[in-house]
Amino acid sequence: MIKSMTGFGRSEVQVKPFGKILVELRSSNHKFLDIVLHLPEGLLSLEDKVKKEIERRFKRGRITCVLTINGSHANSVVINKGLLKNYLAALRDIKETFRLKSDLSLDALIQLPGVLGLEESAVGKEKVWPHLRVLLNAALDDMAEMRRKEGAVLYRHLKNRAKVLVADLERIKKRFRKAIKERLLRLTSDEERSCFLKDSDITEELERLAFHISNFKNKIAQNGSIGKELDFISQEMQREANTMGAKSCDKLISQTVVQIKSQIEKIREQLQNIE
């Protein structure tokens, strides 16, 4: 069954000696799969592994993953001594050149770009990944379940709208047969009848729209990432409805076509959030 692209997942665990590891996932609609990661600086090299785990589970949506480690020993502070010496030499030169008296404080020195940094501990990274992978998949399960539940709600809405479309289409078919007979009786020549049928016959559009609605109903009951395909089908439905409206020779048919177009627009809006 269809799945929504909106979801949230969260999982946390206390692991010695790293501390509390927390994974939070948020998902929203997007044309493709767009993964945004926020990892601690010391674990940035794990980005590819995290992305692969997410890509294995989802095909569409903008997914934001935030990893937080409190009390982690995975990183160590590094002082760029060479850069700091260059800073100090440049600052002494400025001080002598411009005869400045004030001294630069330690707090000011460590704020200089590149002076302090974090060094990743390879051992820490290798040890934390197994815990992180389990935690990440637990959060992914959580988010997948939310997307599945929202997809079930969307499925019911779309199924109901497709049902309304079928009913509207049946009304048009019945009215069209009657309207054609009434109009043909008022025409006096074969040429007039031929021109009228050429400009007003919507039989093919009715058949194609009926096919697209049937195809749409079958697709929304399938599993997998079918949002793009459903959007294409809805575009074809809209195209046939527009043609019927342009060729309509009857007021009641035109009014029903407007209702159909409105239903299709609502369907297309809902489809924007389907994986």
Reading the block at residue 124, the tokens are 């820490």
Please state at what angle helix 122-186 crosses helix 190-200, rounded to 10 degrees: 160
Q: How confident is the model at residue 111 (pLDDT cuts 50, 70, 90)?
A: confident
- Percent of the chain having pLDDT more than 90? 58
pLDDT of residue 73: 53
- Check residue 58 and report its DSSP letter: -
In this structure, are residues 79 and 116 in contact, taking their beta carbons and an 8 Å threshold?
Answer: yes
19-78: pLDDT as tens digits: 888 999 999 999 999 999 999 877 888 999 999 999 999 999 999 999 998 865 545 678
Determine the pLDDT at residue 118: 66
Question: Residue 248 has which token pair?
Answer: 């309509």
Domain ranges of the chain: 7-74+121-147, 76-116, 153-271
> How high is the pLDDT of residue 122?
46
Integer Cα distance of 137 and 194 in angstroms: 66
Give all strands (DSSP E) within the chain, no chain letters: 7-15, 19-28, 33-38, 61-70, 75-79, 116-120
Please write the tens of the pLDDT for every residue from 163-221.
999 999 999 999 988 888 777 777 778 777 788 777 788 889 999 999 999 999 999 99
Going by DSSP bridges, is the β-strand pair 75-79/33-38 parallel, antiparallel, or unpaired? unpaired
pLDDT tens per residue, range 84-105:
888 888 888 887 787 777 777 7
54 neighbors 65 (Cβ within 8 angstroms): yes
Mean pLDDT, the chain, whole residue set:
88
Higher pLDDT pick, 150 / 248? 150
Q: Which band of pLDDT confidence, cut at 50, 70 and 90, is reported for residue 272?
A: very high
